[in-house]
């Protein structure tokens, strides 16, 4: 349960989804599908705060029984919320006819209106949950098409569209030097801990326990773990971040979510980011945004909602990911020295060869600035 407590305590995450699902213009009177519902908070928000007509909550883990209890405890009975304790892929395999036959009232509603999911992982796609969400999107489009065809109206049947929450996603990258991470998050943490009792004294000299932070940092860097997941201070960035991928989640395909290979950017190493005229390049930090465009079915618009995991924003449980160029000993000074003003192009890739493993291989290749970003 610790991971669920962590996610429920993530204020930026919770604020984004609550704002999207309590928007009655988008949710009220509509049928919602929650893929990977977990504790069911998104399902309950859609039903109780957004006034959805009904929510199908897919949760295949043993938590599904608790989810059902939470629904009842919060006043969302079976007439408002259906917990499906199965993988969405298993329901898809049975086909849209079986789903409509199991829930005949759905035909009267015209089908499913919204698919919501909190599928994001580190660097956006870690754990490879997005293909399941895309498969659900496509399946419920088929369900809606089947319902439209069964209505037997003259001319081409009007198929209800399936809206996605979130509906856009993007990945960003920036070159980093991790010296300030060591100074602030490791050395600084030890110094703050031992000197807190001295905060009311002006006579006692503070202790310097930064060496312990250096030792912990060295052990972590020598562990070979790559990418490094941590809250990266903005001061670590050697150049402005660049968007390297953008998806419409209403159009992206499963194949595209498994092979992210067309991701590149040119970075200008800005002297304003440097303490000296050269600074070591330790790797590239990755973060992501997702958004939900604030438009209803009539086309009326409002500002989009955005959830960002940028180093410049309040931290989330996703933190940021650093693809280290030399994870074992780069911090000791065996750095790639980049003079201020240099332009460097980086090509990134994240590839999942076998969806059953739910694992991606991340790579970055460096080259000269031979072409300009679009």
CATH of domain 170-368: 2.70.160.11
pLDDT digits (tens, 9 = 90+) for 222-240: 777 889 999 999 999 999 9
Dihedral pair phi/psi, residue 283, rounded to 5°? 165, -160
Which regions of the chain carry the CATH code 3.40.50.150? 2-165
Which regions of the chain carry the CATH code 2.70.160.11? 170-368
2 or 140: whose pLDDT is higher? Answer: 140
- What tokens does 59 get? 């949760």
pLDDT digits (tens, 9 = 90+) for 20-38: 999 999 999 999 999 999 9
Q: Is 234 exposed, middle or buried (0-12, 13-18, 19+ CB in 10 A)?
A: middle
Mean pLDDT of 2-16: 94
Count CB neighbours of 346 within 10 A. 20
Mean pLDDT score across all residues of the chain: 89
What is the reported pLDDT for 374? 45
pLDDT digits (tens, 9 = 90+) for 283-306: 999 999 999 976 554 555 667 899
| Residue given tokens 């704002």 in the structure block | 19
- The angle that helices 188-195 and 210-221 make with each other, rounded to 10 degrees, is 150
Full 3-state SS string of 199-213: CCCCCCCCCCCHHHH
329 pLDDT more than 70: no
In sequence order, the 6+-apart residues with CB closer than 8 A to the CB of 42 are 17, 21, 34, 116, 117, 118
In sequence order, the 6+-apart residues with CB closer than 8 A to the CB of 238 are 174, 175, 176, 177, 267, 269, 270, 273, 274, 279, 281, 338
pLDDT digits (tens, 9 = 90+) for 149-183: 988 665 667 899 999 999 999 999 999 988 888 88
pLDDT digits (tens, 9 = 90+) for 239-281: 999 999 999 999 999 999 999 998 999 999 877 766 665 578 8
What is the reported pLDDT for 184? 83
pLDDT digits (tens, 9 = 90+) for 46-70: 999 999 999 999 999 999 999 999 9
218 or 249: whose pLDDT is higher? Answer: 249
Instruction: Report the share of the chain in percent with pLDDT over 70.
Output: 89
Structurally, what CATH architecture does the domain formed by 2-165 represent?
3-Layer(aba) Sandwich (3.40)
What is the reported pLDDT for 207? 85
**3-class state of residue 288 by DSSP:** strand
What is the reported pLDDT for 112? 98
């Amino acid at each position: 349960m610790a991971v669920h407590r962590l996610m429920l305590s993530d204020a930026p995450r919770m604020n984004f989804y609550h704002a999207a699902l309590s928007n009655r213009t988008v949710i009220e009177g509509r049928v919602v599908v929650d893929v990977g519902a977990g504790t069911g908070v998104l399902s309950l928000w859609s039903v109780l705060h957004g006034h959805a007509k009904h929510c199908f909550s897919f949760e295949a883990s043993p938590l599904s029984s608790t989810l059902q209890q939470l629904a009842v405890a919060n006043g969302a009975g079976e007439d408002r919320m259906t917990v499906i304790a199965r993988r969405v892929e298993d329901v898809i395999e049975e086909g849209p006819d079986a789903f409509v036959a199991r829930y005949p009232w759905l035909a009267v509603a015209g089908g499913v209106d919204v698919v919501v999911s909190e599928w994001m992982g580190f660097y956006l796609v870690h754990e490879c949950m997005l293909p399941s969400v895309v498969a659900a999107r496509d399946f419920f489009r088929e369900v809606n098409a089947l319902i439209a065809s069964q209505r037997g109206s003259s001319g081409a049947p009007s198929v209800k569209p399936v809206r996605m929450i979130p509906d856009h996603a993007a990945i960003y990258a920036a070159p980093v030097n991790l010296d300030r991470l060591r100074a602030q998050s490791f050395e600084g943490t030890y110094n703050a801990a031992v000197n807190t009792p001295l905060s009311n004294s002006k006579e006692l000299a503070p202790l310097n326990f930064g060496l312990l932070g250096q030792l912990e940092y060295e052990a972590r860097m020598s562990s070979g773990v790559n990418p490094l997941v941590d809250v990266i201070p903005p001061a670590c960035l050697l150049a402005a971040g660049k968007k390297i991928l953008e998806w419409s989640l209403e159009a992206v395909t499963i194949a595209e979510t498994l092979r992210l290979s067309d991701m590149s950017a040119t970075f200008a190493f800005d002297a304003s980011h440097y303490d000296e005229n050269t600074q070591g390049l330790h790797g590239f930090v990755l973060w992501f945004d997702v958004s939900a465009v604030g438009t209803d079915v009539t086309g009326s618009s409002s500002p989009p909602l955005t959830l960002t995991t940028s180093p410049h924003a309040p931290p989330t449980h996703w933190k940021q990911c650093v693809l280290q160029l030399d994870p074992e000993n780069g911090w000791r000074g065996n750095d790639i020295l980049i003079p201020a003003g240099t332009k460097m192009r980086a090509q990134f890739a994240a590839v999942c060869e076998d969806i059953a493993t739910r694992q991606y291989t991340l790579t970055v290749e460096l080259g000269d600035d031979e072409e300009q970003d679009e």
